[in-house]
Amino acid sequence: MGMILSRMTKVVTDKNKINEFLNSRYIEAVFPSKERVAEMMGRGKQLVFYWGIDPTGPDVHLGHTTNVFVMKRLAELGHKIIMLIGDFTATIGDPTDKEAMRKPLTEKEVKENMKTYIDQISKILPKNLFEVKYNSKWYNKLIYKDWLKVAMKFTQQQMIARDMFQERLKKDKPIGMHEFDYPMMQGYDSVVMNVDGEVGGNDQTFNMMIGRDLVKDFLGKEKIVIATRLLEDLATGSKIMNKSEEQYVAINQRPEDMFGKVMAMSDSAISPVLSYATEVTNERVAEVKSRLEGGENPMISKKELAYELVRMYHNEKEAQKARDNFERVFSEGQLPEEIQEVENKGTILQTTVVAGIASSLTEAKRLIDQGAIKINGETVTRWDQEVKRGDIIKGGPHKFRRVK
């Protein structure tokens, strides 16, 4: 996709609007400081901001959307927006928060994963408001001697000091040399695109600050870093959207599946998801938080949250339908009004994967072993159990499929 900004928006210089943006609930930290960035944004010059996403899986999930909301607001302030698809860096894998090396992805896997990324992102940010770039465009052409100019800017001590590497050293787990390259590559993206700022989750702050150093060294200017809040469970501090364990809500999920996934979240996830993964007003967020703290049944707020998310990514009619379906299945013990049909692959193991209840045979086996798969209400105990036409497969609390 080339330059697709179909309209130019006048750059907003109003201090109140800029400060309102910088102090929004989505933002965790701003570098070098909110005051300095407010000054830079208030000059009337259109700045270039980007957010990068590696296609390590096929879905954009709620954990990603906080960044897209921030980019949307930057576009509304009149700044230029770039969505960078890390199709090259995805083949390496970001080591951030990883206890072991990632399994490398092939180019074919990456291309398959990113097929619908732009369509998914455009559910929040209209396509005419951003430009799309792919970092394979420059990394496939990069000469090694030029990369050494980047690598020489940093030391091994800087990289090895990161928490996840220290944890691996303590546990005698390997650290790949390529993992040191990843933050430098993410940083170098800023240089190649000549950006003025980057948006990313606060777990990406180290990588984004590497880019800040490189922009200063190579381009002689100051790069803005906007670190957004992560979706974390208030009770446990753990990430709510765990992509590696399929514990996430994808924005392109079917309405019934999305509603059910939200209802399956812990009660302590309601406030952060409402705050950072929706665009409801601050007043609405405060009201729900107050109700929860006042002892209201969390199920009420959770249903409201599930309805809001389905409405956002589908429409009001689908949201109402998903809520009615949930009530029918979980409150009244009935089957959903509509059940997606799936191909019969002979055994429950293969059919579960085709049905989208499990993402792989390994996960399907785990679900069966945990007693999480049922056929016509009976718990499945064998991987090789046969399925037949008309069987209703239930996976977990909210996924139903009918075998063709």
CATH number of the domain at 165, please.
3.40.50.620
Mean pLDDT throughout 37-60? 96
Tokens of 367: 């679900």
| pLDDT at residue 387 greater than cutoff 90 | yes
The helix or strand, by DSSP H or E, that contains position 131, with its residue range, turns out to be strand 131-134
Tokens of 245: 């364990």
Is 399 a member of any domain? yes
Half-sphere exposure of 162 (CA within 13 A, CB side): 25
Give the pLDDT confidence of 228-276 residue by residue, as tens digits: 999 988 778 777 776 554 568 999 999 988 999 899 889 999 999 999 9
Q: What is the reported pLDDT for 84? A: 98
| pLDDT at residue 2 greater than cutoff 50 | no
C-alpha to C-alpha distance for 358 and 366, rounded to whole angstroms: 9
- Please give the mean pLDDT across all residues of the chain: 91
Is 237 a member of any domain? no
Q: Are residues 219 and 311 in the same domain?
A: no
Whether residue 314 contacts residue 259, with contact meaning beta carbons closer than 8 Å, is answered with: no
Q: Are residues 211 and 273 in the same domain?
A: no
Q: 226 or 392: which carries more pLDDT confidence?
A: 226
Q: 328 or 214: which carries more pLDDT confidence?
A: 214
Domain closes at, from 228, 254, 287: 228
| Residues, the chain | 404
Q: Are residues 306 and 184 in the same domain?
A: no
Mean pLDDT throughout 162-167? 88
Q: What is the reported pLDDT for 18? A: 98
Q: What is the reported pLDDT for 5? A: 44
Q: Are residues 24 and 48 in the same domain?
A: yes
Query: At residue 346, what is the residue type?
Result: G
Packing angle of the helix pair 255-263, 316-326 (nearest 10 deg): 60
| pLDDT at residue 8 greater than cutoff 60 | no
What's the domain range around 348? 340-403
Q: What percent of the chain has pLDDT over 70?
A: 95
Q: Are residues 254 and 399 in the same domain?
A: no
| pLDDT at residue 1 greater than cutoff 90 | no
Mean pLDDT throughout 358-367? 88
Is 102 a member of any domain? yes
Q: What is the reported pLDDT for 7? A: 46
Is 3 a member of any domain? no
If one counts the domains in the chain, the total is 3
Domain closes at, from 194, 228, 262: 228
Three-state secondary-structure class, residue 137:
helix
For the question of whether the overall pTM of this predicted structure is more than 0.75, the answer is yes
Q: What is the reported pLDDT for 99? A: 72
Domain CATH code at residue 358: 3.10.290.10
Confidence class for position 9, pLDDT limits 50, 70, 90: low
Whether residue 188 contacts residue 213, with contact meaning beta carbons closer than 8 Å, is answered with: no
Confidence class for position 147, pLDDT limits 50, 70, 90: very high
Q: What is the reported pLDDT for 247? A: 67
Q: Are residues 184 and 251 in the same domain?
A: no
Is 213 a member of any domain? yes
Q: What percent of the chain has pLDDT over 90?
A: 69
Is 234 a member of any domain? no
Ramachandran region, residue 390 (left: φ > 0; alpha: ψ -120 to 50; beta: rest): left
Q: Are residues 150 and 194 in the same domain?
A: yes
Q: What is the reported pLDDT for 6? A: 41
C-alpha to C-alpha distance for 396 and 374, rounded to whole angstroms: 8
Give the pLDDT confidence of 268-327 residue by residue, as tens digits: 999 999 999 999 999 999 999 999 999 999 999 999 999 999 999 999 999 999 999 888
Is 4 a member of any domain? no
Q: Are residues 146 and 208 in the same domain?
A: yes
Q: Are residues 326 and 348 in the same domain?
A: no
| pLDDT at residue 142 greater than cutoff 90 | yes
Q: Are residues 222 and 289 in the same domain?
A: no
Domain CATH code at residue 327: 1.10.240.10
Q: Are residues 312 and 357 in the same domain?
A: no
Q: Are residues 196 and 149 in the same domain?
A: yes
Confidence class for position 69, pLDDT limits 50, 70, 90: very high
Give the C-alpha distances (Å, rounded to integers) separating 314 from 11, 124, 203.
Answer: 31, 11, 30
Mean pLDDT throughout 381-390? 92
Domain closes at, from 331, 354, 369: 331
Structure-token match 């753990």, residue found:
238
Q: What is the reported pLDDT for 308? A: 98
Is 115 a member of any domain? yes
Q: What is the reported pLDDT for 334? A: 74
Whether residue 270 contacts residue 307, with contact meaning beta carbons closer than 8 Å, is answered with: no
Q: What is the reported pLDDT for 131? A: 97
Confidence class for position 24, pLDDT limits 50, 70, 90: very high
Q: What is the reported pLDDT for 215? A: 98
Give the C-alpha distances (Å, rounded to integers) separating 202 from 43, 74, 156, 205.
Answer: 27, 18, 23, 5
